[in-house]
Structure 1
Amino acid sequence: MHALATITLALAAVVAAQKVGNLVPEQHPQLSWQKCRISSNGTTSCSTIDAEVVLDAEWRWLRNANSISNCYTGNQWDVAQCNTTASCTSTCALEGADAQSYRDGYGITTTGGNTLSQKFVTHAAFSFNVNSRVFLLEPGETNRYQTFVLMGSELAFDVELSSVECAINSALYFVAMEPDGGMARYPTNEAGASVVTQFGEDNVKQFFIQDGKRIETPAASYPGFPDTSGLSLDYCKSLPTNFQDAEYFAQVGGYARHNEALRRPMILTMSISNDHWANNLWLDSTFPPDRAGLPGAERGPCPSWGNGPAPQEVERYYPNAKVAWSNIRFGPIGTTV
């Protein structure tokens, strides 16, 4: 049985014949969501989909397939176990996670059927975990991710992040991956797969609902930007010039490629994490730090901490941070709220 259905495609592509461990049985946390639709008479309705989530391979125990020795510890491969792609492929196995592992080892729990909580730091009897990322599975499937086509649709969800502090990123987002985690493309891979955002062809809009009131995302106030909110062609054209950035968006295909991506199936992902590269300054502080005062550098009110706090310091400052996602709804624009 392919118990570990949802190894990230990045790993599946590198370790093309990844082995599955047999010491810990995989038990996915259950999480329901709602699929919304418009009927022929114009009314909207939503039905509950009983599904599950699965932990990203990056957080799993990767061990010698013939022992309990780690192949990977912290951020380093154990060269005594394997030192090439081929040797790691043939030597190492990716282990499962049971209900206790998800709860006590990774800080991932579900409550009420439709709420997923993720702790930033989790201490267990013999382990210590920081960060987590999970993917939504198709209902009744252990080997396939749930896919969503975003064009013409909207996503709505509730989020509780009052304990998520500076330098911690709690994120619900979509990624492009194969629904089976690459098992078809890599047949030797045994280990194969309330905020409202509206994905329109001309504009991607986001708004919030708090205490029953709709709160629109304001338009950019800096001169040179469109006077409407949302991600649009005009906004993307204005960004590099106004913020003195390189024209990366156009270089990779621009808005046409963006819309092309919205028409492809995407996988829903939920995570909480610190940042070993830029300390999440790009999210909530000044970034790059040496551009303080320049347009686009102020990303949020958090302190810059010099060049940012070391990830270990963030873990020490905010060990109780956690995020809870609930009431996830998806359907045509105008159906989820």
Structure 2
Amino acid sequence: MLRTFSTLAFAAAVYGQQVGTLTAEKHPSMAIQACTASGCTKEDTAVVLDANWRWTHVTSGYTNCYDGNKWNATACPDGKTCAANCAIDGADYEKTYGITTPSDGALKLQFVTKNQDGANVGSRVYLTAAGDGSKYRLFNLLNKEFTFDVDVSNLPCGLNGAVYFSEMLEDGGLSAYPGNKAGAKYGTGYCDSQCPRDIKFINGEANVGNWSGSSSDANSGAGSYGSCCAEMDIWEANLDATAYTPHPCKVSKQTRCENDADCGAGDANRHSGFCDPDGCDFNSFRMGNTEFYGTGKTVDTSKPFTIVTQFITADGTDSGALVQINRFYVQGGTVIPNSQSAVTGVDPVNHISDDFCQQQKKAFSDNNYFSTVGGLTGMGKSLENMVLVLSVWDDHAVSMNWLDSNYPTTSPATSPGVARGRCDPAAGEPKTVESAHPDASVIYSNIKIGSLNSTFKAQ
């Protein structure tokens, strides 16, 4: 995975850490179910919009603290002062961001939403625990399975409807960092294995140091700091391609990186940072089965289906060492096992294990940084306290080629591991996809967490 999240901001986006009062914050309800062998119980959970999307203004009025892709130098001369001066406000989820709940337990994310400030592009939300929304819902995935339904029939090439887990702090950093007055209730504390440096506020301070606006995105940029943590990509997909990918880290929980080496910034540092940005992916197309996933394929993406992911431990306990990640699908009442690898040098398996990852990295001539930072065992330690993330986005870095096309684009498509989907490499260029498919969307629903084989059934 090469996700950068460099462009998920609306036209007049601004950011911050104090709490504003100009727009009431109301989290859209999205109930999930917790299951055992005896049945499932409903949890009254909700979703909260990431702080990076929100309007932020000076606490004394309406002046933006961040405008376009530049900081307000008066309000934000340094990180701590900026956090004190700037208030993060509530969100109108539907009108501004195109985030709706079409039915109980369902969430629809619109790709482009026109609003009074221009247009919002993409979104990222987190699941909050039942109650007042001040804490994220934490998941222990070990010895469990995670299941949900998805409709990607309106999600074309170049887009990514992503469902994943990040090792974020339960309260969004509210208690750990005095400069953070907003917390999980306002979507603070994001981190992932890319150690993203486009996050405007990290550890309660504005990321203003050496901030540089993006040359391709009028609303984004990058600062000196990044926000790192382990990440488990359950689902990164569109109509044509999908992958699931564990990304372990050297660090536990959300950690701020403060230099290029620790952040893994740039090609020279990619495999020296706190986290593994590549991960160990299972993409059926990349693993040699080009007819498994897509419109009219074995898993037919023109229709909704269910995704089941199981996390197998060595001793069958909720604290054991992670040894395998299984994947299968349910569509039309039929259980569909994940495709098997058909790559020379890789055993014909349909799951992720350390053996699979080692063989795949060798077969594709990829750096096995996955193993260096802990492999599945390291990933498993992080899976005990994870926050659920749901998003839709486009990619200003490499046009989503790493997911659904040929990557690197400079290598022959016939080289092992290069072809990842059928999409044209140019289809995912942000200007192209935003213009051609503003009405694209993804729907997630029927989320369940439970003991193995408790969250689904075939007809």
TM-score past 0.5 threshold: yes
Hey, what's the Cα distance between the residues in 2 that align with 1:254 and 1:198? Answer: 17
Offset at residue 92 of structure 1 (A): 1.2
Hey, what's the Cα distance between the residues in 2 that align with 1:299 and 1:76? Answer: 36
Mapping of residues 48-67 of structure 1, within 5 Å: 48-67=42-61
Amino acid across the alignment from 1:23: L
- Which stretch shifts more, 237-246 or 62-71? 62-71
Runs of 4+ in 1 over 3 A off after TM superposition: none
Offset at residue 109 of structure 1 (A): 0.5
SS in 2 for 1:289: coil
Mapping of residues 252-331 of structure 1, within 5 Å: 252-262=373-383, 264-292=384-412, 293-305=414-426, 309-331=428-450
SS in 2 for 1:315: helix
Hey, what's the Cα distance between the residues in 1 that align with 2:43 and 2:375? Answer: 35
1:162 paired with 2:283, answer no
SS in 1 for 2:44: strand
Match of 1:6 in 2: none
Match of 1:147 in 2: 138
Match of 1:71 in 2: 65
Q: Which runs of 5+ in 2 are unaligned?
A: 1-15, 185-305, 314-322
Deviations 1:76-119 (A, max 9, x none): 3233432321231122111111xxx1011000001222110000
1:239 paired with 2:360, answer yes
Two-structure CA RMSD over aligned residues (Å): 1.5
Offset at residue 157 of structure 1 (A): 0.6
The count of corresponding residues between Structure 1 and Structure 2 is: 310
Offset at residue 309 of structure 1 (A): 4.4
Hey, what's the Cα distance between the residues in 1 that align with 2:402 and 2:57? Answer: 34
Which of these residues, 165, 168, 174, is aligned with residue 174 of structure 1? 165
Hey, what's the Cα distance between the residues in 1 that align with 2:101 and 2:325? Answer: 30
Which of these residues, 81, 85, 88, is aligned with residue 91 of structure 1? 85
Hey, what's the Cα distance between the residues in 2 that align with 1:75 and 1:322? Answer: 26
- The answer (yes or no) to whether the contact 1:105–1:127 under 8 Å persists in 2 is no
Offset at residue 141 of structure 1 (A): 2.8
Hey, what's the Cα distance between the residues in 1 that align with 2:155 and 2:329? Answer: 18
Amino acid across the alignment from 2:42: T
Hey, what's the Cα distance between the residues in 1 that align with 2:89 and 2:418? Answer: 42
Hey, what's the Cα distance between the residues in 2 that align with 1:191 and 1:267? Answer: 17
Mapping of residues 66-145 of structure 1, within 5 Å: 66-97=60-91, 101-145=92-136
Offset at residue 52 of structure 1 (A): 1.0
Offset at residue 203 of structure 1 (A): 1.3
Shift in alpha-carbon separation, 1:331–1:74, aligned structure 2, 3 A = farther
- Which stretch shifts more, 309-318 or 21-30? 309-318
Match of 2:4 in 1: none
SS in 2 for 1:290: coil
Hey, what's the Cα distance between the residues in 1 that align with 2:71 and 2:423? Answer: 34
Match of 2:335 in 1: 214
Offset at residue 188 of structure 1 (A): 4.1
Amino acid across the alignment from 2:30: L
Deviations 1:164-219 (A, max 9, x none): 01110001111110111111211442111111111112210111111111111111
Hey, what's the Cα distance between the residues in 2 that align with 1:133 and 1:126? Answer: 19
SS in 2 for 1:291: coil
Offset at residue 37 of structure 1 (A): 1.2
Offset at residue 125 of structure 1 (A): 3.1
- The answer (yes or no) to whether the contact 2:157–2:428 under 8 Å persists in 1 is no
- The answer (yes or no) to whether the contact 1:204–1:231 under 8 Å persists in 2 is yes
SS in 1 for 2:416: coil
1:185 paired with 2:305, answer no
Shift in alpha-carbon separation, 1:126–1:18, aligned structure 2, 3 A = closer
Offset at residue 295 of structure 1 (A): 0.8
Shift in alpha-carbon separation, 1:326–1:309, aligned structure 2, 3 A = closer
Match of 2:309 in 1: 197
TM-score normalized by structure 2? 0.65
Offset at residue 24 of structure 1 (A): 0.9
Hey, what's the Cα distance between the residues in 2 that align with 1:239 and 1:78? Answer: 47
SS in 2 for 1:205: strand
Offset at residue 74 of structure 1 (A): 3.6
- The answer (yes or no) to whether the contact 2:108–2:443 under 8 Å persists in 1 is yes
SS in 2 for 1:111: coil
Deviations 1:280-318 (A, max 9, x none): 11111111111232111111110112xx64312211011
SS in 2 for 1:249: helix
Match of 2:17 in 1: 18
SS in 2 for 1:200: strand
SS in 2 for 1:283: helix
Which has the larger share of helix? 1
Hey, what's the Cα distance between the residues in 1 that align with 2:133 and 2:90? Answer: 12
Shift in alpha-carbon separation, 1:114–1:66, aligned structure 2, 3 A = same
Offset at residue 239 of structure 1 (A): 1.8
- The answer (yes or no) to whether the contact 2:401–2:428 under 8 Å persists in 1 is no
Shift in alpha-carbon separation, 1:220–1:28, aligned structure 2, 3 A = same
- Which stretch shifts more, 247-256 or 177-186? 247-256
Amino acid across the alignment from 2:370: F
